Amino acid sequence: MTTTAVSIREVAPRDGLQNEEPIPTGNKVRLIDALSRTGVKRIEAVSFVHPKAIPQMADADEVWARAWHNPDVRYSALIPNTRGAERAIKAGFREIEVVVSASDTHNRRNLNRSTEHSLDDIAGLIPLVHKAGATLEVIVATSFGCPFEGDIAPERVASIVERVRADGADRVAFGDTTGMATPRRVRDLLSAVRPELLHFHNTRGTGLANVLTALELGVTEFDASVGGIGGCPYAPGASGNIATEELVHMLEDMGIATGIDLDELIRVAELAEGLLGRTLPSGVLRAGPRTRLVASS
């Protein structure tokens, strides 16, 4: 493996919190501000969705207005439609993400429309976003499997990627929405079509193994969520993003630079645990890095 550096996008403020009980606006701001001091270069800060759909994100405008905007960090927002894009642009975001599911059933559950309808909507969004001087990343959810439809053929994902790239999308990411990816299936999909970024869940314990497989195939951008929080409200059992501190711990030990301060990141994971009031699934949060020693008696 010749990879020497990896870019990590921290998604806890959006993807992480959308699957939790709503927390106060000030606590969301504290989380974003703390993450902005860890050395992470990209943060998915909020999503501009209808509050009835995702009440956890109902205060997105206020969160973003109150958060510290570190000039060394690139912040992005997730949007579901044209109205969301207009809100994101008005708020000042210049990196915008939109989701479409490779699974038609999941797309209908998530967005109340077919995959084809969503692709048509995205084609209309791209000129609006570009006119504002922003970029649009298309995240293909359920790329590695769907809890309603089962396995998703790589050819299905490839056809969606071909469509959105032809329509002018700036970037493409693959989402393992319910943690159905395994190293074998990562290899199968990436042999057919390559994204800029991968978003793995650790629902079934294969998250870091999937990252290693993707690294071997040349992908160097990944999403992760501090403490391992997050999931999809519209997919049963879709808990557990890769914990950012676990990903950084593994990569840095391999000699792959992330630019992130692991000790500071663990402190943010402790903060997140306190804000959410529950034990988070991260092993590195529990045990600390492998370099942490204990005094002998």
Q: Is 146 a catalytic residue?
A: no
**Annotated catalytic residue within 88, 232, 272, 275:** 232
Separation between Cα atoms, residue 211 and residue 167, nearest integer Å: 29
Place of tokens 């797309």: 107
Neighbour-count burial of 250, counting CB atoms closer than 10 A to its CB (0-12 exposed, 13-18 middle, 19+ buried): middle
Residues 6+ apart with CB under 8 A from 167: 119, 122, 123, 126
- Measure CA 216 to chain center: 21
Catalytic residues: 232
